[in-house]
Amino acid sequence: MREAAAFDPRRPFTRAEGRAAGLTDKVLGGPRFSRLLHGVYVDARIARTPELVGLALLLGTPGEAWVSHASAARILGLPLPALPGEHVSVVAKPDRTKRRDVRSHVGDPSAPVIRRGDLVHSAPVQVFVELAEQLTLVDLVVVGDWLVRRELVTLARLRQFVGTSRLKGAAAARVAVAFVRERVDSPMETRLRMLFVLAGFPEPAVNLTVDAGNGRCRYDLCWPDVKVVAEYDGRHHAQREEQWEADLERRELIDDDGWRIRVFVANDLYNTPHLTVERMGRLLRAAGLRDMPRVLRDDWRAHFPVRHGYL
């Protein structure tokens, strides 16, 4: 909770602070101010950001507290699905507040946090375990891959922290961290890899650089023993013509050297994952991939539902 200071409407303030500064409820509810949380406002000209919401969370929470869970993840810029509500953690149970738009948790006083002025939020390793209470397995692996790729935490440190954590989400986090990998460039690459792994495919190498034709190419996922590549194409690469042409050229190189490449787009994951699994499974069996199961697992279905109308 921040110390008393001169009233500044450009920073989050409570209704009580606003009234003390001469602002009526009618004024607070008008166009001059924005409501960040129940009972917490700011000048309407100030952009609403995760950091600003974080300050609002702490302003309305007594005692030692920090922004946590999805709220802290948003401050860190992590790739999340839509998650309603905000989260704050406190050390003492009596300090938990009941606000309709905030979930208050009792946290460990030794939890690793990041402090930036008045803003205090869970550190990346802590956020990963906290999010295990809110995210599915695949979404949590996406977060883990992102944290490691952006060097917000090392994979070794993440595994160590999760392995010893006693937080509520620790068990689920331990399952997810076993799938986290280094050098994963995008959330969709993570999703494509998890679709294959949960279907029982031998795990592909991630962003492996291979010699192909007259050049060296790096691919999202590959099984080098049988020269098979799987790539996710988000189409945003085509926004620059030279990047698109470079992608085509490297695919030609790998074709010339006897590699086989399959390119997937969002529809293959979000609408027709069953066809994606079948398509890649046929190719890997034909290529003679060792340990490729004859009958695939159905574990992927809980995370990649087939959309109605695409059966």
DSSP states of 105-156 as a string?
A: EE--TT--EEEETTEEEE-HHHHHHHHTTTS-HHHHHHHHHHHHHTTSS-HH
What's the pLDDT band for 311 if we cut at 50, 70, 90? low
Q: CB under 8 Å to 247, separation ≥6 — which residues?
A: 233, 237
Residue 241: the pLDDT is 47
Residue 24 has pLDDT above 60, yes or no: yes
Inter-residue contact 73 to 143 (CB < 8 Å): yes
**Distance of alpha carbon 154 from alpha carbon 127, whole angstroms:** 14
Residue 236: the pLDDT is 47
Residue 55: the pLDDT is 96
119-162 per-position pLDDT tens digit = 999 999 999 999 999 999 999 999 999 999 999 999 999 999 99
What's the pLDDT band for 98 if we cut at 50, 70, 90? confident
Residue 213 has pLDDT above 80, yes or no: no
Inter-residue contact 173 to 129 (CB < 8 Å): yes
What is the average pLDDT across 106-121? 94
CB atoms within 10 A of CB 12: 26
Residue 26 has pLDDT above 80, yes or no: yes
DSSP states of 91-103 as a string?
A: SSGGG---BTTEE
**Distance of alpha carbon 182 from alpha carbon 284, whole angstroms:** 24
Q: Give the pTM.
A: 0.89
Residue 5: the pLDDT is 64
Residue 218: the pLDDT is 82
Residue 267: the pLDDT is 93
The mean pLDDT value of the chain amounts to 89
What's the pLDDT band for 97 if we cut at 50, 70, 90? confident
Residue 254: the pLDDT is 56
Q: Which two tokens stand for residue 213?
A: 């034709």
Residue 308: the pLDDT is 66
What's the pLDDT band for 259 if we cut at 50, 70, 90? confident
Q: Where are the domains of the chain?
A: 13-122, 127-177, 187-302
Q: Is the dihedral of CA 60, 61, 62, 63 positive or negative?
A: negative
% of the chain at pLDDT higher than 70: 88
Facing residues of 231 across strands? 263
Q: How many residues does the chain have?
A: 311
**Distance of alpha carbon 2 from alpha carbon 54, whole angstroms:** 12
Inter-residue contact 87 to 168 (CB < 8 Å): no
Q: Does domain 187-302 have CATH number 1.25.40?
A: no
DSSP states of 156-186 as a string?
A: HHHHHHHHH--STTHHHHHHHHTT--SS---
Q: How far is CA 287 from the centre of its chain?
A: 34
Residue 257 has pLDDT above 90, yes or no: no
Inter-residue contact 133 to 168 (CB < 8 Å): yes
